Chain A
Amino acid sequence: MADAATRHTRHKRVGRPSAVWALPGALFFVFFAVAPMILVGALAFTDWDGIGTPRWTGLSNWTRLWDDPDTHQAIRLSLVLTALTWLVQTPLALLLGVWAAGRQRNRAVLSAIFFLPLLGSSVALALVWKSLLDPNFGLIADIGPTLGFADGDLLGSSTGAFGAVLFVTAWQFIPLHTLLYQGGARAVPRSLYDAAAIDGAGTVRQFFAITLPQLRNTIVTSSVLMVVGALTFFDTVLILTKGGPGTDTTIMPYLMYKNGFQAFDLGYAAAVATILVVVATTVSLLLVRLTGFTAMRSTREGM
């Protein structure tokens, strides 16, 4: 009791707002995220073509899902794409961000240019890349043979199309993560570097001993965004590859779209969507837990 009372007064003292302040946000979330999610969960146990009323079919969507080779492939592709996305984007964004954190004028100009893709819509960017990857008239017609894609047939090969999705999304989203790392790196106190310099540490040593540990929280934030983002990639696949060749770039969100809005098999699409929600939530929770992000331990301990 006493403890609760003191905590209460302490909250008052630091001026934390009451729960009412969260109400608009919470209501928005309930109406536009929780409620649709519950509806989708229910829809996953029905057969519905979009006309008339959904018909309960029990577990039949789920048994079909279990045996569907396209779904297995989609889950595998989504996981591989997520892992590769993280592996490609994190080191590049981290290095670029730390570099861009410097106050030199040339860095400011170059980063401003580099952040441009962030301003375009995914659809517009994907259309631009689609033209660049046209085997007869695009850039790929000239550089394809050097990359190992004779006749510019990049989108027609499984690895090529998958690589194109990976590359275009990386090109598009590395700037965002660079921005996060730039902010994080700028927040590292100057005094740490000064002290390290006095102790005789070079640039590389300073990076590994100071910058990297200080960016821990930024890395977790950026990774969660990356991983959950990669699990829900959609626009790029829709425009660039349409899930092809065959089904070789049909990742989970695209599979959901194909079943839901091309086949109008909304019950089955809802089952795919449910899996996606469960996987994305689990992965992001795991990331946050395993990295101790929730503890919000300060990176300034001992200063």
Chain B
Amino acid sequence: MRIPRSRSSLRATGLAAAAALVVGGTLSGCGSSGPGGSGKGDISVWVYQDPSTKVQRQVVERFNKTSKVKVKLTQVPGDGYSDKLRTSMGTPNAPDVFFNWGGGSISEFVEKDMLLDLGPAMKKDPSLRKGFIPSILDAGGINGKRYGIPMRGMQPVILFYNKDVFKKAGAQPPKSWNDIIKLIGTFKGKGITPFVVAGTDPWTELMWVEYLVDRYGGAGVFKKIQSEGKDAWDDPAVLKTARTIKDLVDRRAFGKNYKSVNYTADGASTYFAKGKAAMHLMGSWEYANQKANQPAFAKSGLGWTTFPAVPGGTGDPKNVVGNPTNYWSISGKLKGEKQRAAIDFVKFAAKQDYAKALIANGDVPTTSDASALLNGHENPAYAKFQYDMVRDAPDFTLSWDQALPAKYTPPLHTNVQKLFNGQLSPTAFVDALKGM
């Protein structure tokens, strides 16, 4: 930026200072409720604003019709949600009930004892616990305690493939690691990139690392990293994963220019849809993404399968990684009547009409009885595949960059990117993770 000095130094410090000032109360602009968090009889609810928000708007309307304590919904525009939530927690403007991603997105709030432990409420009303797929509910907890009620669709990471490309090559979707290696050779011979990966958006590369670590050592490896800290990166599964990635890169499984490919500007998805790449490891939102940008491909060309097991791996190949769902969490400050009202409000997420609203919106709900409802989905086969895959998964590992505290996200992304780029050797990668 070419700007006069006084303004540029302001800019340099402004970013960091903004956060400092926000705590001083300038945030009131975004919470419509103002100081006190909510009116005398209201509870304030914050939700991430995107096309799915309409489901939450409807549920608030329905809730307010019957409840004495009213819910006031604040929709926070997507990009700034985490920052805003973080800076408001611990101030009088903090929401009473709020949308989150579980794991690392709430771990620091839990540490500071700001959230309501939902264990007792679940004991009192078992439907709250039994209403959801267990692995999803577990992923919203921390250290065995539960702080989140699932309230949106599931987003597992799926191995997508291009049906047309496979048909032309006379190939079958991979069922084992051996198939993967063979397919790499097949597609390379035809001038097609076997797997597209968006190297400028390292979270897409992280999906490979997450699945491989799970397949080599099981879900326990990452659980240990979460609970025991950075020395647990020493697990042999991590090194094996790094070596496998290097092997894939050396085989040119990701093509030659993956380092410059992006996901956020739709580079990877277009490349995949146009048949220049055969497979794409991506979150389940890839379907909605393709539907928006390449509707014909989404309808007939998009295939999906699970991530295969690896030779010598001890992990259950039924395990899934990704974003289990989003959760409602309740502030620990709520007491008495308001707390009961908040619990009643989040309970709505376990009801069938809520699940139906999610399905109508194109999401796959995480409630345990949703199976029969999935015929109402615009693509029932895809919805059922997803639902069964997640329901049958012994473990659903939350994306590492969401599960670990925020301060590990940038170095994790950087190190994974460096591994894919060949800037870090497999052993140097493990050392770098231990040094985070």
Contacts and interface: CB of A to CB of B under 8 A. Distances in A.
A230 B8 CA distance: 10
Contacts of B271: 136-137
A150 B265 contact: no
Contacts of A150: 256
B259 A155 contact: yes
Interface string B1-29: 11111111111111111111100000000
Interface stretch (B84-92, B142-150, B375-383): B84-92
B262 A130 contact: yes
A229 B11 CA distance: 10
Interface stretch (B55-63, B348-356, B403-411): B403-411
A134 B90 contact: no
A24 interface: no
Given A40-B16, A225-B2, A264-B407, A136 B265 contact: no
A140 to B, nearest CB: 8
B188 to A, nearest CB: 14
A51 B90 contact: yes
A130 B257 CA distance: 15
A200 interface: no
Interface in A133-188: 133-137, 140, 150-157, 173, 176-177
A83 interface: no
Given A51-B109, A130-B262, A153-B260, A43 B6 contact: no
A157 B260 CA distance: 8
B16 A245 contact: no
B265 A40 contact: no
Interface of B: 1-21, 83, 86-87, 89-90, 108-109, 112, 199-202, 255-262, 265, 267, 270-271, 276, 406-411, 414, 417-418, 421, 423-424
Contacts of A225: 2-4
Given A32-B10, A157-B259, A280-B8, A50 B407 contact: no
A122 interface: yes
- Sorted nearest first, the 6 A-B pairs with minimum C-beta distance are A156-B259, A36-B17, A229-B2, A135-B257, A153-B257, A151-B257
Nearest to A224: B5
Nearest to A240: B200
A244 B15 CA distance: 21
B420 to A, nearest CB: 9
Contacts of A259: 410
B13 A136 contact: no
Given A52-B112, A137-B270, A156-B260, A36 B13 contact: yes
A281 interface: yes
Interface of A: 29, 32-33, 36-37, 39-40, 43, 49-52, 122, 127, 130-131, 133-137, 140, 150-157, 173, 176-177, 224-226, 228-229, 231-235, 241-247, 253, 256-266, 269-270, 273-274, 276-277, 280-281, 284
Nearest to B199: A156
A232 B14 contact: no
Nearest to B9: A277
A261 B83 CA distance: 8
A173 B8 CA distance: 15
A37 B83 CA distance: 21
Contact of A246 (B16, B409, B414): B414
Contacts of A258: 410
Contacts of B14: 32, 36
Contacts of B261: 134-136
B406 A273 contact: no
Given A264-B406, A280-B5, A244 B417 contact: yes
Contacts of B2: 173, 176-177, 225-226, 229
Given A36-B10, A264-B406, A156 B83 contact: no
A156 B89 CA distance: 39
Given A43-B20, A262-B410, A136 B15 contact: no
Contacts of B19: 50, 260-261, 266
A184 B10 CA distance: 28
Contacts of A280: 5, 8-9, 12
B204 to A, nearest CB: 12
A226 to B, nearest CB: 7
B1 A232 contact: yes
26 contacts: A33-B9, A39-B17, A127-B265, A130-B262, A136-B261, A136-B271, A153-B256, A155-B200, A156-B200, A156-B257, A156-B260, A176-B2, A229-B3, A232-B3, A241-B200, A244-B414, A246-B414, A246-B418, A247-B414, A259-B410, A260-B16, A261-B83, A264-B407, A266-B20, A280-B8, A280-B12
Interface centre among A36, A43, A49, A274, by most B CB within 10 Å? A36
